[in-house]
Structure 1
Amino acid sequence: MKRLNLRNIPAERLSQRVFYVLVGLCVVVFGLFYMVGYDIPYVFNPDITAPMFTGVVLDTMYVLFLLALACAIWSAVKGFSVSGKSNGTENNVPYRAISYAVFVGTAVILLLALLFGSSKEMVVNGSLYANKFLLKLSDMFIYTIGILLFVAFAAVVFGFTRYYRKK
């Protein structure tokens, strides 16, 4: 049996394969969620539905979140240990300062979004939902995603206007 040696695979090809596997997994999971048993009535309240594959969708998201968190921690630890051995620049690009700024900036955005997130009670499926921490946590993720998407969009626009700025 042939051993898989990840060191011989270029990073671009490896990330492309991982991306394809993740997209395929999500398509299958959400396809099952929407196409199989989506209209099953909820046992305790027949006015709302209880899709059959809700647990699979939630478990998939938990596993993907934990994998992403583990990869982020591993990457941060490896990046900090490797960058400590050099002067922090490569091709006159201060990559150490950029990675510290991204790390600290993301942590600050997460913390501020958690602090300013709403903990106002909500009515979900006719029931009052009042867990203040989870309400603030969900607001934190929503606000952070919005802020980071805006920053990414602004960076893309800034990159596209590079040629106009040089003239």
Structure 2
Amino acid sequence: MPPSSSVKIGVVSALVLVPLIAKVFSVTKKLTSSRDPLVVWNTLQGVKFMPSQMSSWLFYVAIGIANPYSRSINYRVTELEKGKVVGTLQEVKEIRNPFRCVHAAALVLFGETVGGLALFTRLGKKDRAILTNINAEVFKPSIAPPPQQQQQQQQ
């Protein structure tokens, strides 16, 4: 009697999930043993069968565990090197102010998060860094049109 399709799906799922779970344990071990975000980033980027968007999201989750405040904004790190971080902040309703632009506190938190990541990639094993002061000035809010509107304006 041939195996049913549910058995085939179960076998395929197991073949996919077992390496993924093993990698998650490996990343978790590196995350708990390393204070360097670059080690975690390179580990996640090294997973061959995982799309870059998923590894970027997992990095966001890992940073959110270490820095719970950063979970309040929807950002992604797209590039991380020693002393350099490139990130994107998605404008969503939750981080807008009454003037229909991104709230200054959300921008400051985004800057603190990516700036802190860049700093932590430069620290030695025994170094520590604690933010004691942060200043920001907003001169004029800038509001970008939605991506669909931008494409129409360019045509």
| Bigger radius of gyration among the two | 1
Q: Which one has a larger percent helix, Structure 1 or Structure 2?
A: 1
Q: Which one has a larger percent strand, Structure 1 or Structure 2?
A: 2
